[in-house]
């Protein structure tokens, strides 16, 4: 949940969608693990409650300390297990050898918290495999205890990550292995393990993913083995494009920026470009030299070879490139460290290989163009944030990129919606030609470019529309539940 515990886009969704639903009058409460590495300074009124919630795990009952606080105006419960494995005191959110165990524990404890609180919940909305256990636990365990007012919505933000384990490990959180280790329930479609996301697809009332195009893609190869399961459950499955949090991402109020600006005052944007160049020690003789930004997790999905190509191509086209990215994969991190070294003395290229929220805001504001050459992209937020800051996206037509970026030169679509540059094939040629078209427009037709920037900055990427779609499916599920 941004900004307290953020790794990527999922964090933005939790606070963005949460706030939008709250604004529509719903009571939204968030449950998170009490990670030792979270940004506690972003939580107001953090305090421990005077109750202990006991939850089941591996044959024993464990106490959980429950903390509450407010994040971005949303009430949050933080669960701190009193378990010897110190599940959430690992100095990172995920990537531990026992992640399956950590999140199976969390899912059980979170449901127990809701059950013991006596709340009459309408919708429990779970995100990604880490909370997928909630769906079978709710229907197989808690509904039998009379805690059955809720309907479960599961959102998969990326089908690459499914949470698999040997079937017996399901028993840790109290699930019935024999009952669930079946091809129509939780057994993985291609090997003998069990699959948490499959369980959530089978057991949830609503299943969503984060864009309409990705929802189509995952019904075939994009489903990483779950395509058949999604087809069987297609009636409850749909893609809803994420919004962005337009309070956090607002160039006219953004405190991280040197100068705030809006679509009518692009001087302010130029001032941010100058400031970033100074900060990163980039050449600054030509204010109009185009600056290309890229902010990403450096993983195969993001098209790392194309990102590398974009750096060299920008140098060739006479632009400047700023990459902000970090990689959980040591080889990729090393490769990019090598590229950073290679360009060390080149004052047109900077690679900053870390996670840095403040710097990300400055790069969105300073850049003229923004590269997202993903191999696949469930939704992608960076292209939308870039547009809001007047940086024109150059993206591969896949997943949510295909639902949010429309090619400037494509005469088959209305001019009003054309907002960036796209390419189809995931190869260097495709990317090069999109970049060339963008550079051409930028240098040869500055007035046209300016209008494009202004148009991009005024597109509505807020959560309003998408939150209404969630509201609609929640309400239908609740109505069905009440009719029963």
Minimum CB distance to ligand ADP, residue 10 (Å): 6
Per CB under 6 A, which region of 256-264, 272-280, 319-327, 444-452 contacts ligand ADP? 319-327
SS3 category, 340: helix
Which one among 12, 72, 181, 368 touches ligand ADP, defined by CB under 6 A? 12
Q: Annotate 50-84 with b (16+ C-beta within 10 A) or e (fewer).
A: eeebebbbeeeebebebbebebbebebbbbbbebe
Q: 79 or 381, CB closer to ligand ADP?
A: 381
Spatial CB neighbours of 215, under 8 Å, sequence gap ≥ 6: 208, 209, 237, 238, 239
As to burial, measured by CB atoms within 10 angstroms (0-12 exposed, 13-18 middle, 19+ buried), residue 233 is middle
Which one among 3, 9, 33, 393 touches ligand ADP, defined by CB under 6 A? 9
Closest CB to ligand ADP belongs to which residue?
A: 9
Q: Does residue 107 interact with ligand ADP by CB under 6 A?
A: no
Question: Contacts with ligand ADP in 379-438 (CB under 6 A)?
Answer: 379-382
Cα–Cα distance, 313 to 266 (Å, whole number)? 26
Q: Does residue 254 interact with ligand ADP by CB under 6 A?
A: no
Minimum CB distance to ligand ADP, residue 355 (Å): 4
Q: What angle do CA 378, 383, 387 make, to 5 degrees?
A: 150
Minimum CB distance to ligand ADP, residue 268 (Å): 20
As to burial, measured by CB atoms within 10 angstroms (0-12 exposed, 13-18 middle, 19+ buried), residue 47 is exposed
Q: How many CB atoms lie within 10 A of CB 220?
A: 10
Q: 155 or 382, CB closer to ligand ADP?
A: 382
Q: Does residue 300 interact with ligand ADP by CB under 6 A?
A: no
Q: Does residue 8 interact with ligand ADP by CB under 6 A?
A: yes
Which one among 295, 366, 387, 395 touches ligand ADP, defined by CB under 6 A? 295
Q: 71 or 379, CB closer to ligand ADP?
A: 379
Q: 117 or 326, CB closer to ligand ADP?
A: 326
Minimum CB distance to ligand ADP, residue 390 (Å): 16
Q: How many CB atoms lie within 10 A of CB 49?
A: 12
Question: Contacts with ligand ADP in 356-385 (CB under 6 A)?
Answer: 356-357, 360, 379-382
Q: 227 or 326, CB closer to ligand ADP?
A: 326
DSSP assignment of 261-291: -BTTBHHHHHHHHHHHHHHTT---S-TTS-E
Cα–Cα distance, 184 to 167 (Å, whole number)? 14
For residue 312 the two structure tokens come to 């060299």
Q: Does residue 324 interact with ligand ADP by CB under 6 A?
A: yes
Minimum CB distance to ligand ADP, residue 297 (Å): 5
Q: Does residue 174 interact with ligand ADP by CB under 6 A?
A: no
Minimum CB distance to ligand ADP, residue 8 (Å): 3
The rounded Cα 378 to chain-centroid distance in angstroms is 9
Which one among 325, 373, 390, 393 touches ligand ADP, defined by CB under 6 A? 325
Q: Does residue 297 interact with ligand ADP by CB under 6 A?
A: yes
Cα–Cα distance, 101 to 89 (Å, whole number)? 14
Closest CA to 209 of 234, 185, 239: 239
CB 251 within 8 A of CB 274: no
HSE (side-chain half, CA atoms, 13 Å) at 402: 20
Per CB under 6 A, which region of 100-108, 272-280, 290-298, 415-423 contacts ligand ADP? 290-298
Minimum CB distance to ligand ADP, residue 250 (Å): 14
Site residues (vs ligand ADP, CB under 6 A): 8-10, 12, 295-297, 324-326, 355-357, 360, 379-382
């Amino acid at each position: 949940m941004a900004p307290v515990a953020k790794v990527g886009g999922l964090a933005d969704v939790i606070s963005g969608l949460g706030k939008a639903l709250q604004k529509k009058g719903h009571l939204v409460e968030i449950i998170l693990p009490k990670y030792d590495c979270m940004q506690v300074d972003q939580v107001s009124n953090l305090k421990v409650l005077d109750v202990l919630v006991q939850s089941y795990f591996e044959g024993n009952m464990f106490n959980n300390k429950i903390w509450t606080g407010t994040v971005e105006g949303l009430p949050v419960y933080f669960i701190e297990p009193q378990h010897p494995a110190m599940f959430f005191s690992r100095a990172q959110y995920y990537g531990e050898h026992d992640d399956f165990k950590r999140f199976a524990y969390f899912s059980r404890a979170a449901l127990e918290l809701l059950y013991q609180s006596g709340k009459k919940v309408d919708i429990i909305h779970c995100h990604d495999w880490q909370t997928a256990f909630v769906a079978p636990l709710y229907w197989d365990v808690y509904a039998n205890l009379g805690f059955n007012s809720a309907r479960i919505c599961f959102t998969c933000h990326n089908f690459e990550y499914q949470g698999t384990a040997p079937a017996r490990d399901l028993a840790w959180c109290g699930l019935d292995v024999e009952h669930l280790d079946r091809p129509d329930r939780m057994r993985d479609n291609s090997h003998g393990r069990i699959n948490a996301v499959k369980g959530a697809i089978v057991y949830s009332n609503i299943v969503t993913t984060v864009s309409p195009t990705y929802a189509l893609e995952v019904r075939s190869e994009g489903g990483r083995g779950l395509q058949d399961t999604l087809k069987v459950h297609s009636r409850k499955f749909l893609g809803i494009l994420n919004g962005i949090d337009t309070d956090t991402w607002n160039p006219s109020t953004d405190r991280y920026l040197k100068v705030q600006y809006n679509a009518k005052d692009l001087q302010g944007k130029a001032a941010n470009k100058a400031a970033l160049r100074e900060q990163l020690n980039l050449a600054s003789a030509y204010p109009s030299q185009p600056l290309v930004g890229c902010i990403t997790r450096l993983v195969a999905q993001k098209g790392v070879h194309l990102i590398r190509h974009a750096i060299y191509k920008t140098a060739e086209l006479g632009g400047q490139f700023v990459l902000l990215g970090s990689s959980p994969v040591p080889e990729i991190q090393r490769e990019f460290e090598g590229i950073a070294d290679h360009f060390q003395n080149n004052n047109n290229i900077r690679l900053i290989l870390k996670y840095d929220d403040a710097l990300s805001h400055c790069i969105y504001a300073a850049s003229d163009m923004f590269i997202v050459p993903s191999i696949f992209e469930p939704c992608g937020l960076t292209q939308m944030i870039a547009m809001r800051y007047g940086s024109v996206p150059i993206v591969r037509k896949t997943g949510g990129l295909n639902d949010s970026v429309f090619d400037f030169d494509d005469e088959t679509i209305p001019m009003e919606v054309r907002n960036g540059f796209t390419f189809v094939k995931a190869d260097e040629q495709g990317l090069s030609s999109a970049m060339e078209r963008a550079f051409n427009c930028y240098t040869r037709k500055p007035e046209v470019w300016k209008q494009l920037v202004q148009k991009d900055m005024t597109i509505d990427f807020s959560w309003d529309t998408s939150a209404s779609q969630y509201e609609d499916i929640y309400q239908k599920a609740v109505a069905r539940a009440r009719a029963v």
